[in-house]
């Protein structure tokens, strides 16, 4: 029998809803239904799956405003960001709706017959999602997994399940078979762990902290279950002295304070060549002070609250004892507010090494190109990063030398659903999105047909 969790609006601190917490039996029932639904789904023609995913995308498009409002309420995302996220889910579904008819195998020359490969779906895929981008990160897993012929059991974070629950309902409205895409709410240690241990879940996609990701991978190893890990980050925003400093400084707050810094790709270290360090800070200060923090339901708001009181305490603990250069503003009141904060740091400082997951950025100087690369690589993580330079050769050299999965030059873009996304080092294992994601939800089968009588 399940109990329930109380959801809190992070902008007000007030309770909004109770959501059931599934127990192991209920997780097992969802997996059993998914096993049955998957067989019929995979047996259908590719066009049937493509059409079903396109219908799902259209229903999501028709409900963008409702999904966005749920994310404002449950996660405190600014409404404009939440609308982008909901539209992004529809776009991801549309993109992978093209995959069922393109999952071609190979025909390999052999003697005496014919050899072909098939991309077989795993069966049931378990997807475990964090609270920072609840619906978009879920879609990066469920859209290509379904396209490849799998069923999906999805566990949203306990703090932010509302948009995932609604997406599960919209899938059924769009005509996806009952049980094919099941959203199971509850705790990580019960629901998430059951995905790891259940023999009928044949692949796990985990997005979250590096610590939990390592334990999920260890659990999956026990049952030889493939796992994709999207973990933490401490990404560098590297500003060379030949950069367009005005543009680099004006764009730096958005690159780290978007979603209140609760972004795995947050450029939470700004590395500035020493010769332009003072000038860059002069330009950065007004950009940080102008960053608009407040009521997430207003279209003018750029940043809402942190997700919870305990997370705010954790973020604050990173700033204690540091050299704060300047801060932006944040509302008073009952929400979990935290003003954007710029810290001057030294190499090796905790603030320069560990993921804060809040609106706090560490600024560090470096001497030359080699030193900048060394500093950029000086963390356990390797998820994203930005390189600001007007020198093309330098852009190429640095982009190749920084050990991160997703880099941008003279821009902070990280996520395009049609390009691959994921981290190196302690930031993860495997890639999501991009042209090959549906294939990652399949196993290659090789079949030899003897033709000689
Ligand atoms: P975690 O605490 O690791 O939780 C992530 C998810 O795992 C939640 O759904 C959680 O469930 C579940 N979980 C917890 N313990 C588990 C266990 N023993 N077995 C299976 N599942 C378990 O992370 P978080 O605090 O929610 O998210 C923040 C982290 O996610 C940051 O490090 C951030 O960088 C990372 N992140 C990475 C990316 C990419 S794409 N690389 C994207 C977003 C976030 P509960 O509901 O119980 O918490």
Alpha carbon 173 to its chain's center? 26
Name which of 356, 321, 352, 353 is nearest 340 in CA terms.
Answer: 356
**Three-state DSSP class for 122?**
coil
Tell me if 292 sits within 8 A of 303, measured CB to CB.
yes
Work out the end-to-end distance of the chain between its first and last CA atoms, rounded to an integer number of angstroms.
61
Based on the residue annotation, tell me whether 220 is a catalytic residue of this protein: no
130 lines ligand 1 (CB under 6 A): yes
Q: pLDDT tens, position by position, for the chain (453 residues)?
A: 569 999 999 999 999 999 999 999 999 999 999 999 999 999 999 999 999 999 999 999 999 999 999 999 999 999 999 999 999 999 999 999 999 999 999 999 999 999 999 999 999 999 999 999 999 999 999 999 999 999 999 999 999 999 999 999 999 999 999 999 999 999 999 999 999 999 999 999 999 999 999 999 999 999 999 999 999 999 999 999 999 999 999 999 999 999 999 999 999 999 999 999 999 999 999 999 999 999 999 999 999 999 999 999 999 999 999 999 999 999 998 999 999 999 999 999 999 999 999 999 999 999 999 999 999 999 999 999 999 999 999 999 999 999 999 999 999 987 999 999 999 999 999 999 999 999 999 999 999 999 986
233 lines ligand 1 (CB under 6 A): yes
302 lines ligand 1 (CB under 6 A): no
Q: Which burial class, exposed, middle or buried, applies to 23 when counting CB atoms under 10 A from its CB (0-12, 13-18, 19+)?
A: middle
Name which of 174, 132, 178, 175 is nearest 156 in CA terms.
Answer: 132
d(CA 353, CA 333): 31
Rounded to whole angstroms, what are the CA distances from 228 to 181, 225, 433?
19, 10, 12
Residue 279 is given by DSSP the state H
Positive/negative CA dihedral, 393, 345, 307, 165: positive
Q: Which residue among 130, 231, 424 has the greatest number of ligand 1 atoms within 8 angstroms of its CB, and so is best to mutate?
A: 130
318 lines ligand 1 (CB under 6 A): no
For residue 217, the surrounding DSSP H or E stretch is helix 210-222
pLDDT given at position 414: 77
**Three-state DSSP class for 229?**
strand
147 C-alpha to ligand 1 centroid (Å): 24
- Please identify, by atom number, the ligand 1 atom nearest to the C-alpha of residue 155: 9
291 C-alpha to ligand 1 centroid (Å): 28
Q: State both tokens at 196.
A: 């790891």
d(CA 390, CA 189): 48
Residue 207 is given by DSSP the state E
212 lines ligand 1 (CB under 6 A): yes
Angle at 371 between CA 365 and CA 374, to 5 degrees: 105
- Please identify, by atom number, the ligand 1 atom nearest to the C-alpha of residue 428: 41
d(CA 209, CA 190): 17
pLDDT given at position 413: 84
d(CA 174, CA 423): 33
Name which of 147, 177, 197 is nearest 28 in CA terms.
Answer: 197
pLDDT given at position 377: 98
182, β-bridge pairs: 153
**Three-state DSSP class for 199?**
coil
316 C-alpha to ligand 1 centroid (Å): 20
Residue 10: Cβ within 10 Å count: 30
Please identify which of the residues 71, 230, 355, 432 carries the catalytic annotation.
230
Please identify which of the residues 264, 265, 355, 432 carries the catalytic annotation.
264
Provide the greatest CA pair distance for the chain.
83
Q: Which domains, from first to last, does the chain contain? A: 3-231+427-450 (3.40.605.10), 236-416 (3.40.309.10)
Tell me if 420 sits within 8 A of 433, measured CB to CB.
yes
Residue identifier of the C-alpha nearest atom 26 of ligand 1:
130
392 C-alpha to ligand 1 centroid (Å): 38
Based on the residue annotation, tell me whether 264 is a catalytic residue of this protein: yes
Tell me if 262 sits within 8 A of 305, measured CB to CB.
no
**Three-state DSSP class for 420?**
coil
Residues 6+ apart with CB under 8 A from 118: 105, 444, 445, 447
Residue identifier of the C-alpha nearest atom 36 of ligand 1:
208
224 C-alpha to ligand 1 centroid (Å): 21
Positive/negative CA dihedral, 401, 403, 406, 408: negative
Prediction pTM value: 0.97
Residue identifier of the C-alpha nearest atom 6 of ligand 1:
130
d(CA 312, CA 315): 5
SS3 content of the chain, % helix, strand, coil (to 5): 40, 25, 35
d(CA 292, CA 10): 17
pLDDT given at position 192: 98
- Please identify, by atom number, the ligand 1 atom nearest to the C-alpha of residue 212: 3
Residue identifier of the C-alpha nearest atom 42 of ligand 1:
264
d(CA 53, CA 95): 9
Dihedrals phi, psi of 444, to nearest 5 degrees = -80, 130
- Please identify, by atom number, the ligand 1 atom nearest to the C-alpha of residue 130: 26
- Please identify, by atom number, the ligand 1 atom nearest to the C-alpha of residue 383: 41
pLDDT given at position 2: 65
**Three-state DSSP class for 155?**
strand
Q: What is the pairing mode between strands 227-230 and 201-207?
A: parallel
209 C-alpha to ligand 1 centroid (Å): 5
């Amino acid at each position: 029998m399940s109990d329930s969790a109380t959801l809190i609006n992070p902008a007000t601190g007030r309770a909004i809803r109770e959501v059931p917490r599934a127990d192991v039996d209920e997780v097992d029932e969802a997996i059993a239904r998914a096993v049955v639904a998957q067989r019929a789904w995979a047996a259908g023609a590719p066009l049937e799956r493509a059409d079903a995913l396109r219908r799902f995308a259209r229903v999501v498009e028709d409900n963008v405003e409702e999904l966005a409002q749920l994310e404002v309420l449950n996660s405190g995302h600014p409404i404009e960001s939440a609308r982008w996220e909901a539209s992004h889910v529809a776009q991801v579904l549309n993109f992978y709706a093209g995959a069922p008819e393109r999952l071609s195998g190979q025909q390999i020359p052999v003697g005496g017959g014919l050899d072909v490969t098939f991309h077989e779906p795993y069966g049931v895929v378990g997807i475990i999602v964090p609270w920072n981008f609840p619906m978009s990160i879920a879609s990066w897993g469920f859209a290509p997994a379904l396209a490849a012929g799998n069923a999906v059991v999805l566990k949203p974070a306990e703090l932010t399940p509302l948009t995932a629950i609604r997406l599960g309902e919209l899938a059924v409205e769009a005509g996806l078979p009952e049980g094919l895409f099941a959203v199971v709410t509850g705790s990580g240690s019960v629901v998430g762990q059951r995905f790891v241990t259940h023999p009928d879940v044949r692949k796990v996609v985990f997005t979250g902290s590096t610590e939990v990701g390592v334990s999920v991978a260890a659990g999956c190893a026990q049952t030889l279950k493939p796992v994709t890990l999207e973990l933490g980050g401490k990404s560098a925003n590297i500003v060379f002295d030949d950069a367009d400093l005005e543009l680099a400084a004006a764009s730096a707050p958005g690159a780290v304070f978007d979603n209140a810094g609760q972004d795995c790709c947050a450029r939470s270290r700004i590395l500035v060549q020493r010769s332009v360090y003072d000038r860059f800070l002069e330009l950065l200060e007004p950009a940080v002070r102008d960053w608009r923090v407040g009521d997430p339901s207003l279209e003018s708001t750029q940043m809402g609250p942190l997700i919870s009181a305990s997370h705010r305490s954790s973020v604050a603990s990173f700033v204690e004892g540091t050299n704060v250069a300047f801060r932006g503003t944040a509302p008073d009141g009952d929400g979990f507010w935290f003003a954007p904060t710029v810290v001057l740091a030294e190499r090796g400082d905790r603030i320069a090494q560990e993921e804060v997951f809040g609106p706090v950025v560490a600024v560090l100087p470096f001497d030359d190109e080699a030193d900048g690369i060394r500093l950029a690589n000086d963390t356990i993580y390797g998820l994203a990063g930005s390189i600001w330079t007007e020198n093309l050769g330098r852009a190429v050299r640095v982009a190749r030398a920084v050990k991160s999965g997703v880099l941008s030059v003279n821009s902070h873009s990280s996520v395009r659903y049609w390009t691959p996304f994921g981290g190196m080092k302690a930031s993860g294992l495997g890639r999501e999105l991009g042209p090959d994601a549906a294939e990652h939800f399949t196993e290659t089968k090789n079949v030899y047909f003897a033709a000689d009588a």
